[in-house]
A and B are shown apart, each in its own frame.
Chain A
């Protein structure tokens, strides 16, 4: 009898040797005369256990991890193909607390299915949302998404349904659905994981967006740094086309929708939606002034829906289970679930999808398990390189768009990076400015010049040159950048800088430099 195993093909698993583990299992199985079939799935999101090998025993999947190629022989010796005991055995995957406590709506299939099997996708309720959408009037699809309370998961938190409504009502022969998969924020990998682990859910979400707004063409704009996601997404689009999910008649509805993957070229600012549109058009990724809104004049001046990967990938479950089902999760104006990405110096790093509302402390200490180094935690940065650094004193903040904004922070794309007490917050503030200087598109002065001046001022503080005056100058510069920049790159770089200075003033007060006598 052939034993079925799962060895992830997610980039994080690959970075930790998943290919070598899969090869070792195949070699060992042949040597021992056992028949195995290995499915290359997405990641379950428990990255500290990667490569996580799962063995199908009866109706259960038994987890072993983190598996190194050297462990494979001992796993066979321990009878892992029958779920045998081994120091790496984690029991039934679904019962691992990190996974069991999650509410997986968007990531329901990620890590469970073969990412390129449309049969697998259908078996786990895939395409039911699209089938329902086909039976609905465009306005009703839009209303369902609006009623679900879904807000842009890229960071801005703008209601997705409102964007769709604007595009639906905009006149235009051609309309586009653009998926912003330019996931450049450090500490985030949810887009990458869904594209690698469950690409059909994004295809389905985009097709629904097309039906809802009258758009017939979609683009997924992703990063050249994500070769595995590009490959998985492109292959899935081919399958979807072959199976009639995409093409001139979506699932036989008589309505057309098709899409393609486009690859950026290493510019962080292209994650900003108007820069992204310019880049798609083949131009420099320079930010456009708004208005006009992309919903009115977007790609090639046509009405365009531009949504983040996770926003679009959350649409199928909303259409499938209904707006109320989705809306019932969450708190305040943050409805539904959010895939939180726990990263950096943390014991249990990975992806944790849950309803909005958990406190930052619960996420970092209980779910993340504290620092990987075992040293005291000093700060967490939430929301990528443009997000604020929070000290432990703010750990009671609930994970919610408004609650974070009220504490001068943002949840952004929901990435959390943990730092232990070895971090120098002045250095981090300087890096924020340096990063902005490297990645600025150059269109507006506060961002282009301000970031470079910011690096210099931070250096002056570090060198003890008139520290008090320079701290004031840095705050003033941040104020100018925040209110004077055209987009979030220059506008939000002050968040990490000011939060570092506000919450960790000790790092901004180096010993004054002893001036040499003239």
Chain B
């Protein structure tokens, strides 16, 4: 895995923050942009953001850790999100999740050893009328069953 060196993180972070800090309430948009840039929010980004927005590092750290979306480490090449909420449960989401975990050999919040897939739970994709649902790298899938789930895992493994 090619992790950027710290000086590089700081400079790329600085250019993102500089471009966006004029917005009203810029921290969340900045964090989204940093995660889009690096795939996660690097520790070395935090002091740069704090300095530029005139916040303490603790405040920035507090925001990063509050939200489920922001990660402090990279994901696998693909991210598979399975909905665990009630509508999906009513259509067998728990069984689909168990099957996917078994096929990947990992639990939620884990990444396969080959670095191919990170599995995440999600609480509602708004696809409750075509449950169970999932999202693979931003692409949505509905009415999953054991076969469709296995196909999704195959796609994610690629």
Residues of A whose CB lies within 8 Å of any CB of B are: 11-12, 14-16, 47-48, 50, 183-189, 191-192, 217, 224-228, 262-268, 279-286, 299-300, 341-346, 349-351, 372, 381, 385, 415, 417-420, 423, 428, 431, 435, 438-439, 441
Interface centre among B27, B28, B87, B125 (most CB of A within 10 A): B87
- Shortest CB-to-CB span from B70 to chain A, Å, is 6
Let me know if B89 is at the binding interface, CB within 8 A: yes
- Residues of B74-92 at the interface with A, using a CB-CB cut-off of 8 Å, are 85-91
Task: Tell me if B69 and A344 are in contact (CB < 8 A).
Answer: no
Q: Does B29 contact A (CB under 8 A)?
A: yes
Alpha-carbon separation in the docked complex, A284 to B139 (Å) = 28
B25-36: contact bitstring with A at CB < 8 Å (1 yes, 0 no)?
Answer: 111110110000
Select from chain B the residue with minimum beta-carbon distance to A372: B91
A-B contact pairs, 19 of them (CB 8 A): A11-B127, A12-B126, A15-B142, A186-B123, A188-B128, A189-B128, A226-B126, A280-B25, A282-B25, A282-B28, A300-B24, A300-B25, A342-B129, A344-B86, A345-B90, A385-B123, A417-B87, A417-B128, A423-B89
Take A192-B126, A267-B66 as given contacts and tell me if A417 and B29 are in contact as well, using a CB distance cutoff of 8 Å. no
Cα distance A385–B84 in the bound complex, in angstroms: 12
Give the docked Cα–Cα distance between A203 and B52 (Å).
33
> Is there contact, CB below 8 Å, between A15 and B86?
no
Cβ-closest chain A residue relative to B142: A15
Give Cα A16 to B127, complex, Å: 10
Q: Is A343 touching B89 in the complex (CB atoms < 8 A)?
A: no
Which chain A residues lie closer than 8 Å to B133 at the CB level?
Answer: 15
A427 → B minimal CB distance (Å)? 9
Given contacts A185-B124, A189-B129, A438-B123, 7 further A-B contacts (CB under 8 A): A11-B127, A188-B126, A227-B138, A266-B67, A282-B25, A300-B24, A385-B85
Residues 95-141 of B at the A interface (beta carbon under 8 Å): 122-131, 133, 135, 138-141
Interface check B22, CB cutoff 8 A: no
Given known pairs A16-B143, A189-B126, the reply for A265 and B28 (CB within 8 Å) is: yes
Q: How many residue pairs between the two chains, A and B, have CB atoms under 8 Å in the bound complex?
A: 151
Residue from B27, B67, B126, B130 in contact with A183 in the complex, judged by beta carbons closer than 8 Å: B126
From B25, B70, B123, A184 is in contact (CB under 8 Å) with B123
A186 in contact with B86 (CB, 8 Å): yes
When chains A and B are docked, how far (Å) is the Cα of A267 from the Cα of B64?
A: 12
When chains A and B are docked, how far (Å) is the Cα of A465 from the Cα of B119? Answer: 34
Cβ-defined partner of A225 (8 Å) among B25, B122, B143: B122
Interfacial chain A residues near B28, Cβ < 8 Å = 262-265, 279-280, 282
**Interface size classification for chain B:** 35 or more
User: In the complex the two chains form, what is the Cα distance from A472 to B56 in whole Å?
Assistant: 46
CB distance from B150 to the nearest CB of A (A): 17
Shortest distance from the beta carbon of A149 to any chain B beta carbon, whole Å: 28
User: Looking at the complex, which one of B125, B128, B141 makes contact with A344 (CB distance below 8 Å)?
Assistant: B128
B62 at the interface (CB under 8 A from A): yes
How far does the Cβ of A9 sit from chain B's closest Cβ, in whole Å? 12
A384 nearest in chain B by CB position:
B86
Complex Cα distance, B59 from A284, in Å, reads 9
Given A47-B130, A262-B28, answer yes or no on A385-B142 (Cβ-Cβ < 8 Å): no
Contact present for B124 and A186 (CB under 8 Å): yes
Q: How far is the CA of A283 from the CA of B139 in the complex (A)?
A: 29
A265-B70 contact given A16-B142, A227-B138, CB 8 Å threshold = yes
Asked if A187 and B87 sit within 8 Å, CB to CB, the answer is: yes
Q: Which residues of B contact A (CB under 8 A)?
A: 24-29, 31-32, 53, 62-63, 66-70, 85-91, 122-131, 133, 135, 138-143
Smallest Cβ distance from A387 to chain B, in angstroms?
Answer: 9
Between A185, A226, A441, the greatest number of chain B beta carbons within 10 A of the residue's beta carbon is seen for A185
Q: Would you give the shortest CB distance from A52 to chain B, in whole angstroms?
A: 12
- Where chain A touches its partner, the secondary structure class is mixed
A291 vs B67: C-alpha distance when bound (angstroms): 25
CB pair A14 B126 closer than 8 Å: no
Q: Considering the chains assembled together, what is the distance between the CA atoms of A381 and B85 in angstroms?
A: 12
How far apart are the CA atoms of A381 and B87 in the complex, in Å? 9
CB atoms of B130 and A16 under 8 A apart: yes
Q: Give Cα A228–Cα B142 distance, bound, in whole angstroms.
A: 15
Whether the Cβ atoms of A282 and B126 lie closer than 8 Å is no
Asked if A48 meets B129 with Cβ closer than 8 Å, knowing A16-B143, A344-B91, A431-B89, the reply is yes
Which residues does chain A contribute within 8 Å of B88, judged by CB atoms?
Answer: 186
Give which listed residue, A50, A225, A341, A423, contacts B128 with CB less than 8 A: A341
Contacts A11-B140, A224-B69, A265-B68: A345 and B91 contacting too (C-beta < 8 A)?
yes
Contact of B129 among A227, A264, A282, A343 (CB under 8 A): A343
Contact B143 A266 (CB under 8 A): no
A282, B26: Cβ atoms closer than 8 Å? yes
| Chain B residue at minimum C-beta to C-beta distance from A195 | B126
Assembled-state Cα–Cα distance A191/B143 (Å):
21
Q: Given A50-B130, A300-B25, does the pair A266, B62 have CB atoms closer than 8 Å?
A: no
Q: Is the CB of A265 within 8 A of B129?
A: no
Measured CB to CB, the closest approach of chain B to A118, in angstroms, equals 25
- Contact between A417 and B67 (Cβ–Cβ < 8 Å)? no
Q: A419 to B128, alpha carbons, bound, how many Å?
A: 12
Query: Shortest CB–CB separation between residue A475 and chain B, in angstroms?
Result: 22
Output the least CB separation between B76 and chain A (Å).
Answer: 18
Set of chain B residues within 8 Å of A431, measured between Cβ atoms: 86, 89
Q: Are B123 and A284 in contact (CB under 8 A)?
A: no
Shortest beta-carbon distance from A106 to chain B in Å = 17
